[in-house]
Chain A
Amino acid sequence: MPDVESSGNEALAARRAVMALCALAHPAELRAALAASEAPEAEDLRPPETGLVMARGRIGGDGRRFNLGEVTVTRAAVRLAEGETGFAYHLGRDRAKARLAAILDALWQQPDRRHAVERALAPVAAREEAERQAQARRTAATRVDFFTLARGED
Chain B
Amino acid sequence: MYVAVKGGEAAIASAHRLLAEARRGDPAVPEIGVDQIAGQLALLVDRVMTEGSLHDRDLAALALKQARGDLIEAVFLVRAYRTTLPRFGASEPLDTGAMRLARRVSATYKDLPGGQVLGPTFDYTHRLIDFALAAEGASEPAAQAEPAPDAARAPRVTDLLGQDGLIEASPPDEGAPVGDLTREPLDFPAERDLRLQALARGDEGFVLALAYSTQRGYGRTHPFVGEIRVGEVEVEFVPEELGFAVPLGRLAVTECQTVNQFHGSAAEAPRFTRGYGLAFGHSERKAMAMALVDRALRADELGEAGGAPAQDQEFVLAHCDALQATGFVEHLKLPHYVDFQAELELVRRMRAEHAEATQEAAE
Contact = CB atoms under 8 A, between A and B. Distances in A.
Given A53-B248, A56-B91, A64 B117 contact: no
A63 B246 contact: no
Given A66-B178, A90-B248, A144-B116, A52 B88 contact: yes
A58 B87 CA distance: 20
Contacts of B174: 64
Interface residues of A, number: 54
A16 to B, nearest CB: 6
B55 A55 contact: yes
Interface stretch (B24-32, B97-105, B327-335): B97-105
Given A87-B246, A146-B110, A141 B145 contact: yes
Given A61-B276, A67-B193, A89-B248, A56 B178 contact: yes
A148 B56 contact: no
Nearest to B81: A72
Interface of B, secondary structure class, is mixed
B117 to A, nearest CB: 5
Contact of A137 (B145, B181, B247): B145
Contacts of B253: 57, 68
Interface in A28-68: 49-68
A147 B219 CA distance: 32
List 10 A-B pairs, minimum CB-CB distance, nearest first: A63-B170, A60-B170, A91-B249, A66-B193, A141-B143, A69-B53, A20-B247, A140-B147, A141-B145, A142-B118
25 contacts: A20-B234, A51-B86, A51-B87, A53-B87, A53-B248, A54-B180, A55-B90, A56-B178, A58-B93, A60-B257, A62-B159, A63-B171, A66-B194, A67-B90, A69-B200, A70-B53, A71-B55, A73-B248, A91-B55, A132-B100, A139-B101, A140-B148, A141-B143, A141-B144, A143-B148
Given A53-B88, A54-B90, 18 more contacts: A12-B244, A20-B247, A52-B54, A52-B87, A56-B94, A57-B278, A60-B169, A60-B170, A60-B276, A62-B97, A66-B178, A72-B59, A91-B250, A92-B249, A137-B145, A138-B142, A142-B118, A144-B117
